[in-house]
């Protein structure tokens, strides 16, 4: 399968009939709380809002605990019983996801919107890998067994498997962690859904395989109009994204095209996060081990505490007095970029 250039003009590419809308997914002011009991709750998401257009690749960047996985689970209507959507709405192709019944959700999941789970242990241990991919096809498409098997073999080849027949017939315990991860990704891609939510898609994969998977994502976007929501703590994994949302403590603190996030991050948290990624991991020439594990000083706020000011204030090198008392709103700093920081409010 030939991978098209990522900068090719996609406006002239035909869109699938089921992706005709210019606004595929719209999340507006979404807030999610987790409750441990009647008197204790933790805020996992605070007024998160964004849209995804057909054929667009959007990345979400942030540390563990920033709310990225909660956001994915909320969109898929797979939040645990301890979680509750307390505000906001989510519309997918014009339908309010929060009001859909169980049957309609089963029709959508895997067919027009699919999720690549962060965990690599989502496969059925007593079913062959190929059969588990075919089961997704069988649940949503009508085709002969031979045609479905042919589709699976082609997808396995596109994902970098050399011996597709062996992989198809193998049980999960006969595959490596990286191979199982690719089978789980194949389950999410086999129906060519309108939107794929990929939670840490590079987990368990070596750099070469990661590059191949990301190239496959771009090809599906360019050929089929598939949109992607890529979730990662690593900016390199989001290199195929058109734009990136940066999350911290359950909030979107910055949104900009990938190139701008990479070359000129605006929010202090984004700068600190990228600075950690640029530092050399192992000590050089027998140097000190004190900086072996790059990190942002301080800790993220306790989600059960109500913070009056900016959630990042306690770790921010640009902290101002107003940061401790007022909560910043998202500010438009260009036609395509927003940031949640008082520095830019004062500049305006």
The kind and range of the H/E element at 187 are helix 177-189
Q: Which residue has the tokens 């008197």?
A: 39
**Cα 35 from chain centroid (whole Å):** 24
Longest dimension (CA), the chain: 67
> What SS3 state is found at 331?
strand
Give the residues across from 245 on adjacent strands. 60, 255
CATH 3.40.50.300 segments of the chain: 16-112+193-279
The CATH number given to 16-112+193-279 is 3.40.50.300
Q: Please write the tens of the pLDDT for every residue from 159-207.
A: 999 999 999 999 999 999 999 999 999 999 999 999 999 999 998 899 9
Q: How far apart are CA 295 and CA 287, in angstroms?
A: 18
**Helices (H), strands (E): how many in the chain?**
10, 12
pTM of the model: 0.86
- At residue 6 the predicted structure's pLDDT band, cuts being 50, 70 and 90, is very low
Q: Please write the tens of the pLDDT for every residue from 95-147.
A: 999 999 999 999 999 999 999 988 767 899 999 999 999 999 999 988 899 99
């Amino acid at each position: 399968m030939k991978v098209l250039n990522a900068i090719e003009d996609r406006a002239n590419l035909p869109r699938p009939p089921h992706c005709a809308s210019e606004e595929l997914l719209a999340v507006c002011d979404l807030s999610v709380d987790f409750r441990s009991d009647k008197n204790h709750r933790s805020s996992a998401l605070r007024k998160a809002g964004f849209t995804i257009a057909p054929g667009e690749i959007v990345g979400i960047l942030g540390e563990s605990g920033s709310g990225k996985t909660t956001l994915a689970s909320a969109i898929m209507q797979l939040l645990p019983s301890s979680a509750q959507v307390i505000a906001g709405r989510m519309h997918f192709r014009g339908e309010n996801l929060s009001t859909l019944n169980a049957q309609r959700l089963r029709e959508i999941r895997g067919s027009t919107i699919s999720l690549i789970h962060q965990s690599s242990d989502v496969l059925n241990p007593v079913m062959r890998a190929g059969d588990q991919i075919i089961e997704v096809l069988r649940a949503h498409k009508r085709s002969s067994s031979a045609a479905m098997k042919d589709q699976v073999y082609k997808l396995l080849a596109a994902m970098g498997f050399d011996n597709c027949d062996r992989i198809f017939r193998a049980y999960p315990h006969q595959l490596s962690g990286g191979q199982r991860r690719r089978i789980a990704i194949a389950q999410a891609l086999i129906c060519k859904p309108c939107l794929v939510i990929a939670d840490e898609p590079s987990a368990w994969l070596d750099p070469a395989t990661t590059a191949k998977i990301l190239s496959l994502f771009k090809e599906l976007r360019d050929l089929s109009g598939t949109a992607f929501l890529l979730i990662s703590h690593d900016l390199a994994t989001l290199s195929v994204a058109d734009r990136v949302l940066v999350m911290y403590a359950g909030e979107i603190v910055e949104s900009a095209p990938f190139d701008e996030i990479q070359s000129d991050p605006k929010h202090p948290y984004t700068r600190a996060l990228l600075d950690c990624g640029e530092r050399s991991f192992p000590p050089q020439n027998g140097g000190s081990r004190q900086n072996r594990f790059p990190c942002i000083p301080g800790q993220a706020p306790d989600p059960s505490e109500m913070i009056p000011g900016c959630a990042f204030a306690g770790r921010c090198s640009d902290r101002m007095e107003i940061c401790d008392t007022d909560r910043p709103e998202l500010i438009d700093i260009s036609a395509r970029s927003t940031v949640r920081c008082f520095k830019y409010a004062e500049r305006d």
